[in-house]
Structure 1
C-alpha cells in the first residue's frame, strides 16, 4: 500500500487536476479513498471505474454513477448496487436473475422493488441460498407462498421476515397447515443422521456448529421457531407456550418480546438460565413488581440489563446504580427523566446515581454547574465533557481530581486552546488525554506537537489542520504508515508538496 497516495486521495484540498492524475495511477487501495471524495465528478467516477473495476460498487452506492454508466454484464456488482439503491434498470434484474454466479442472484434477491417476473424466477431458483434471501425481504404475498417451500432454510428466512402474515408465522411455529420440509443444509451435504462437530476441522465447511438432521431437519426447524419468536409480527398466542420449552434459546427469544403477557413473564423470571432472565429484565413490557423481583437477583448481568430498561422506576435505578457496575453510559430512563426527576437525581446521596445523570448533555446550567463541583471524581469525570462549562470550571476539575478527569476535560468541546496546551504538560501525563487533544477543534500547533510524541495520538495529530505545514510534510516520511496517510490527507499540506508528490508519479 502506498500510504502517501492513499492519504492524498482522501485530502479534501487536493485540486481536481491532481485527482485526475491519481485516478490514472490508482490501485484498489487508492480507489477506495478516491471514490469517497465528495467533490468527485461523474466523469472522474467513470474514469475511476475504467481504471479500478472494483470501485464501481462503492461509486454506485454513493450515487456517483448513473444507469447509463454501467454495463451489467461487465460490472454485475455495480449493477446490483444500483438496483439495491432503486437506481437500476428492470432489464438488469432480468439479466442478473439468470446469472450463473449464485452470489449475484443471491444479492439480487435482496434488492427492493423487483419486477414480478424476476421475483417468480428467483422464487423458483434451484439454490436455496437465493430463495432464502428472497424470502427474507419479500412482500407478504411472496413470503406466504414461500412458507411452504420444501427447503427448511427458506422457511427460516420467511419466519424472520416481518412482512410475513401473522397466520403464516403462527403456522411456521407449530408446523400445522404446512407440508413437511423435505431437506435442509445438513442433509443436503451429509449422510443422515448427522450432527455437525462444533470443532469441525474442515476449512471449506460453512455449516453452523451443532447443525443436525436425523431426517426431520431438527436444527433448522429449531431455527425457524427461534426466528418466528424474535419476529414481532408473530401472534402472541402462538409463542407463549415456549415459556417452558426445553430449549434455552427459544425461551431466551421469548423473553425479549414486547408483547409478553404478565403471567408468562413471571414464569420466565424463574428461568434457570441467567441470559433468559437478563433479557426479560430489559423488556419494557414487564411491570414494576416483576422488576423489583429481578432487582433482588445476585447475578450482575440481570441487574445491569434491568438498569437499561427504559421503564425502570427511578428509585429502583438509584439502588441498582449503587450496587451494580453500570459504567459511564446514558441510560434510557436517565435520558427521559423529567426536570424534577433530574433535580432529584442531582441531590442523590448515591454518587453512582449522580454519575449517571451527569452523562446527559442537555442538563440545565444550574444542575450542570452543581455536578461540576461534585466531590466524587466519577461524577466530575462524567460531567466534564458537557458543553457550556467555563475554562475556570474545567481547570478547577483538574486541580481537584487530576489524572482521573484529565482526558474527559480534554474532550470538552468548549475547552479553550490555552487549557489544552496546559493539559499536554500535565504531570503525570495521561495518554488518553493526548488522543482527545489531537482530535480537538481548538488544539493549537503547540498542543499538537506535544501529541505527536504519544504513539497512539500521533496518527490523529498528523491529520489535524492546525499542525504547521512544514511538520505535516516531514511526517510524510514517518515510519508509521497510519501517520503518513493521515499527514497526506491533511488539508493543510502545502499545495506545492501535493503537486510534487503527484506529478512525479
Structure 2
C-alpha cells in the first residue's frame, strides 16, 4: 500500500515553480491540497478562479483571503450569504472599493473590524463605519493629537492623506491640531478642515471659522 506524503504535496502546492496544470491536479486530489493551492499567493488567478465553486468552505475562504484572487470573484463572494466569506473578503486588499462600500453597510462587528484594518479601504468607507468603530475614532484622534502644536513631541511628518483621515474619522479636532492645520500649505487640508470645522475644539472654533471665511473671501 502506497503512503501519501501529504506534507510534500502541500509544499508542492505552494511552491513557486509548480505549474498551473499541476496545481489543478493537486487541487482535485484532496480538499486540503485545494486549500493550499487557493491560499498560495503565487497561484495564477485563472487557477484560483477554477476553485470558486469548490464544495469545501475552507477552500473558498482561502480564495476570499488571497489578494491574488480575481476582483470579479471577490465581488461575487461579497454577494454570498455566508458570513465567514464576507469577513474574509472585507479584509482582502484586492477587494474592489465598491464592494468594500457595500460591506460597510453590514452591522457585523467582524466585518467592520476587517474593513477598519484593510489598508485598501477607501476613506469614504472608513467614514461610514467610524461611528460604529471606536478603534477608528481613536485612530483618527491619535493622528491629530500627534500633529498638534501643543503635543509633547509633535509629529510634523504626517502626510496629507493621514491628516485628512484624522479629520474624517475623529469626532474632535483638538485646538493644537486645528491651529497647525489652518497653516498647512495644502489647500485640500484647509478645505477638509472647513468641512469638519464643527468638530474643532470650542476654544478655537470661532477663530478657525473666521479665518477660513476670510480666506475664502480672498480666494
Same fold (TM over 0.5): yes
Q: Give CA deviations for 1:208-249 in whole Å, capped at 9, x if unaligned.
A: xxxxxxxxxxxxx21111111111122222221332333211
Match of 1:304 in 2: 113
Structure 1 segment 436-451 matched on structure 2, within 5 A: none
2:46 pairs with 1:237: yes
Question: Could you tell me how far apart the structure 2 residues matched to 1:263 and 1:151 are?
Answer: 35
| TM-score, reference length from structure 1 | 0.29
DSSP 3-state at the match of 1:266: helix
Q: 2:5 is matched with which residue: 127, 132, 151?
A: 151
Match of 1:174 in 2: 28
Match of 1:320 in 2: 129
- C-alpha spacing 1:346/1:222, structure 2 compared with 1 (3 Å): closer
- C-alpha spacing 1:329/1:253, structure 2 compared with 1 (3 Å): farther
Q: 1:248 is matched with which residue: 51, 57, 61?
A: 57
Q: Give CA deviations for 1:182-206 in whole Å, capped at 9, x if unaligned.
A: xxxxxxxxxxxxxxxxxxxxxxxxx
Q: Give CA deviations for 1:84-135 in whole Å, capped at 9, x if unaligned.
A: xxxxxxxxxxxxxxxxxxxxxxxxxxxxxxxxxxxxxxxxxxxx8xxxxxxx
Match of 1:441 in 2: none
2:175 pairs with 1:366: no
CA contact (8 A) 1:162 1:231 kept: no
Match of 2:14 in 1: 160
Match of 1:341 in 2: 161
Match of 1:288 in 2: 97
- C-alpha spacing 1:165/1:274, structure 2 compared with 1 (3 Å): same
- C-alpha spacing 1:264/1:346, structure 2 compared with 1 (3 Å): closer
| TM-score, reference length from structure 2 | 0.61
CA contact (8 A) 1:322 1:350 kept: no
Structure 1: segments with no counterpart, 5+ residues: 1-127, 129-149, 176-220, 356-362, 368-373, 376-505
CA contact (8 A) 1:269 1:277 kept: yes
Question: Could you tell me how far apart the structure 1 residues matched to 2:128 and 2:61 are?
Answer: 26
CA contact (8 A) 2:137 2:169 kept: no
2:164 pairs with 1:351: no
CA shift for structure 1 position 268: 0.7
- C-alpha spacing 1:328/1:155, structure 2 compared with 1 (3 Å): farther
Match of 2:84 in 1: 275
CA contact (8 A) 2:24 2:47 kept: yes
CA shift for structure 1 position 258: 1.5
Question: Could you tell me how far apart the structure 1 residues matched to 2:104 and 2:165 are?
Answer: 19
Structure 2: segments with no counterpart, 5+ residues: 144-156, 182-199, 202-219
Match of 2:36 in 1: 227
Question: Could you tell me how far apart the structure 1 residues matched to 2:169 and 2:63 are?
Answer: 38
Question: Could you tell me how far apart the structure 1 residues matched to 2:138 and 2:13 are?
Answer: 34
Give the structure with higher Rg (CA): 1
DSSP 3-state at the match of 1:244: coil
DSSP 3-state at the match of 1:343: helix
DSSP 3-state at the match of 1:326: helix
DSSP 3-state at the match of 1:265: helix
DSSP 3-state at the match of 1:271: coil
CA contact (8 A) 2:93 2:119 kept: yes
Structure 1 segment 50-449 matched on structure 2, within 5 A: 150-175=4-29, 221-326=30-135, 339-348=159-168, 350-351=170-171, 366=180
CA shift for structure 1 position 154: 2.5
CA shift for structure 1 position 159: 1.5
CA shift for structure 1 position 338: 7.3
Question: Could you tell me how far apart the structure 2 residues matched to 1:151 and 1:264 are?
Answer: 32
